[in-house]
Amino acid sequence: MNARPVIDDLSSFWMPFTANRQFKAAPRLLESAKGMYYRSTDGREVLDGTAGLWCVNAGHCREEIVDAVTRTLGTLDFAPTFQMGHPIAFEAATKVASLMPEGLDRIFFTNSGSESVDTALKIALAYHRARGEGQRTRLIGRERGYHGVGFGGISVGGIAPNRKTFSGALLPAVDHLPHTHDLAHNAFTKGQPAWGDHLADDLERIVALHDPSTIAAVIVEPLAGSTGVLVPPQGYLQKLREICTKYGILLIFDEVITGFGRLGKATASEYFGVTPDLITMAKAINNATIPLGAVAAHRNVHDTVVNAGAANAIELFHGYTYSAHPVATAAAIATLDLYQRDKLFERAASKAEKFESAAHALRDAPYVKDIRNLGLVAGIELDSRDGAPGARAYEVFVKCFEAGVLVRYTGDILAFSPPLIIEDDQIDQIFGTVRKALESVK
Ligand code: PXG
Ligand code: PLP
């Protein structure tokens, strides 16, 4: 194998969303991956309980995707998509469109979830302007929402630490819905809570405050991942849809995590039976092999923008050098073919019940104050240690890693989102390891 030199200098890489000093004092390094497992640099197998960062839905280093990437890299390393094109981009867009809800079949490519969010927000503004309602510029997000790290995304996002450093530079016309997390009513719910659909009614209050004529779009994660697996109450998303439709406001579902099988369907929109006007995606779109994201726009939104001006004029002043990069889109085609061939979305659906019962079996484990789940996602919320929020979950995360299982944590919430190829005994291994870790921490 092509062994790399031992890394002895960790100082140059400024790590993202990481406690750099803590990490570099005791690093955790992964050097290879296959199927459900990583291998760490100290030679241990680590079961991937998080599909990387919620993105490797088909499992690691799948040959079909590796082949497509390798082949494309040797035939078309890069081609511009500004006033030029290449066939792979069009084929990938058609494939992505075929998985979207009816009507959302116009695909704009980006390189990440953050770029997809900023792109969707800009499309919403462009749509209203093309309709002669350019004064509709206000964007509505939700508390505890995560929409990436662009200025648009943190403005509509609802995570305080992601915003406060940059608070003077956030978009000016933004408001937020209340989040739907309520343990007093919904602790230990399996699947969607029955309580909480009325929280969507707050959109009526926000609309009345600002007037509908000023509001461009509402953006929410159909199931919030990053802030600790918040499952939408029954009927909540339907209500948001109804209110948006009533006032001509575009509804954006951020499906960067929920897209491509996480809930057992191609999209959360399909799973919940609620169709937004725009869907943002990234991550599992190509099994995370090469950076790629996309926005699916309803045909009416696309047509409104694209048909607004002269036929020889650029309709949307937006795009990235790497929009529809040949290698990234080739990886998407191979990935979507693999999902279909191996029926991985159906597989996720078929494992959801086992996953749910294995997660909820930890109800009596130490410090557990809530367990919630849907599809192949689960969250376990822990009591925080006095004066040290997040410390306990961090220790559980480290202990699990040392015991050969990768989990995620945010604050004192553990999150689980394995590749969709997971087997029953691996589900047991994840939650069994977490139980032992919980029993061993203070
Ligand atoms: N929207 C949503 C709903 C996301 O979950 C983004 C946008 C941004 O995507 P990019 O590709 O720009 O990172 C995300 C990303 C975690 C975790 O552990 C979650 C994300 C990224 C990294 C870690 O919860 N979500
Ligand atoms: N900065 C400069 C100086 C550039 O020339 C470009 C693109 O041409 C960008 C930023 C944007 O880069 P990207 O298209 O990869 O987002």
3-state SS, residue 433: helix
Whole-number Å distance, alpha carbon 322 to ligand 2 midpoint, is 10
The closest ligand to the CA of 18 turns out to be 1
Integer Cα distance of 436 and 442 in angstroms: 12
Looking at the fold, whether 205 and 171 belong to one and the same domain comes out as yes
Q: Do 223 and 377 meet the contact criterion of CB atoms below 8 Å apart?
A: yes
| Residue 287: both structure tokens together | 């099994």
Whether the CB of 254 sits within 6 Å of ligand 1: yes
Query: How many structural domains comprise the chain?
Result: 2
Q: Does 169 share its domain with 313?
A: yes
Q: Given this model, what pLDDT does residue 1 score?
A: 46
90 to each of 86, 229, 361, 387, how far by Cα in Å?
7, 34, 46, 53
- 55: CA distance to ligand 1 center in Å? 9
Query: Ligand 2 centroid to 321 CA: how many Å?
Result: 7
- Residues 114, 93: one domain? yes
Domain-located, residue 380: yes
Yes or no: say if 65 and 336 are a contact pair by the CB < 8 Å rule. Answer: no
Q: Which atom of ligand 2 is nearest to the CA of 322?
A: 15
What percentage of the chain exceeds 70 in pLDDT? 99
Looking at the structure, tell me whether residues 281 and 265 fall in a common domain: yes
Q: Is the CB of 114 under 6 A from ligand 1?
A: yes
Beta-strand runs (E) in 115-191 = 138-142, 174-177
Could you give the CA distance from residue 163 to residue 170 in angstroms, rounded to a whole number? 8
* Tens-place pLDDT, residues 236-290: 999 999 999 999 999 999 999 999 999 999 999 999 999 999 999 999 999 999 9
Residue 205: partners with Cβ closer than 8 Å, 6 or more residues away: none
* Residue ID of nearest Cα to ligand 2 atom 6: 321
85-109 pLDDT per residue, tens:
999 999 999 999 999 999 999 999 9
Residue 2 has pLDDT above 70, yes or no: no
Token pair of 60, please? 């690691």
* Segment 212-220 mean pLDDT: 98
Query: Atom 21, ligand 1: which residue's CA is nearest?
Result: 53
Q: Within a domain: residue 351?
A: yes
Residues 186 and 94 in one domain: yes
Domain match, 284 and 347 both: no
| 368 vs 209: CA distance, rounded Å | 40
Q: What is the CATH number of the domain that holds 249?
A: 3.40.640.10
The pLDDT of residue 7: 76
Task: Ligand 1 pocket test: pick from 114, 230, 256, 267 the residue with the most ligand atoms within 8 Å of its Cβ.
Answer: 256
Pocket residue to mutate for ligand 2, from 81, 114, 321, 323, most atoms within 8 A of Cβ? 321
Instruction: Work out the pLDDT band at 5, boundaries 50, 70, 90.
Output: low
Last residue of a domain, one of 341, 361, 385: 341
- In this structure, the residues whose C-beta lies within 6 A of any atom of ligand 2 are 320-322
Ligand nearest to the CA of 319: 2
Tell me what the mean pLDDT of segment 392-399 comes to: 98
* Residue 320 Cα: closest atom of ligand 2: 14
Distance, CA of 110 to chain centre: 14
Whether residue 30 has pLDDT greater than 80: yes
Asked if residue 196 is part of any domain, the answer here is yes
How many C-beta atoms lie closer than 10 Å to residue 366's C-beta?
15
Q: Closest by alpha carbon to 217, among 282, 173, 283?
A: 173
Tell me which of 17, 18, 53 to substitute to probe ligand 1's pocket, judged by most ligand atoms within 8 Å of the beta carbon: 53
347 and 337, same structural domain?
A: no
Out of 17, 18, 54, 287, give the residue to mutate to test ligand 1, the one with the largest number of ligand atoms within 8 Å of its CB: 54
Same domain for 275 and 333, yes or no, is yes
Which atom of ligand 1 is found nearest the CA of 148?
8
Calculate how far, in angstroms, residue 113's C-alpha sits from the geometric centre of ligand 1: 6
Residue 34 Cα to ligand 2 middle (Å): 34
Please list, residue by residue across 114-137, b when 16 or more beta carbons sit within 10 angstroms of its beta carbon and e when fewer do: bbbbbbbbbbbbbbbbbeeeeebb
> Do residue 284 and residue 407 come from a single domain?
no
Instruction: Specify whether 223 is located in the same domain as 257.
Output: yes
- Would 7 be classed as within a structural domain? no
CATH code at position 347: 3.90.1150.10
419 token code pair: 């590749």
Residues 320 and 192 grouped into a single domain: yes
Structural domain including 419 reads 20-58+343-440
Residues 115-143: tens digit of each pLDDT: 999 999 999 999 999 999 999 999 999 99
Token pair of 400, please? 């699990």
> What average pLDDT does range 398-422 have in this prediction?
98
Assess contact for 363 and 434: CB atoms under 8 A.
Answer: no
Indicate if ligand 1 lies below 6 Å from the C-beta of 159.
no
Q: Do 274 and 146 reside in the same domain of the chain?
A: yes
The ligand minimizing its distance to the Cα of 397 is 1
* Structural domain contains residue 354: yes
CB of 224 closer than 6 angstroms to any ligand 1 atom: no
**Ligand in nearest proximity to the CA of 81:** 2
328 lines ligand 1 (CB under 6 A): no
Is residue 3 in a domain?
A: no
Question: Rg (Cα) of the chain, in Å, rounded?
Answer: 22
The C-alpha atoms of residue 226 and residue 238 are separated, in whole angstroms, by 22
Last residue of a domain, one of 275, 308, 341: 341
Q: Write out pLDDT tens, residues 286-341.
A: 999 999 999 999 999 999 999 998 999 999 999 999 999 999 999 999 999 999 99
The predicted model gives 359-378 an average pLDDT of 98
Q: How far is the centre of ligand 1, averaged over its atoms, from the C-alpha of 292 (Å)? A: 13
Answer yes or no: is the C-beta of 141 below 6 A from any ligand 1 atom.
Answer: no
The reply to whether 9 falls in a domain is no
143-173 pLDDT, tens digit each: 999 999 999 999 999 999 999 999 999 999 9
The answer to whether residue 15 is domain-embedded is no
Domain end marker among 296, 319, 341 = 341
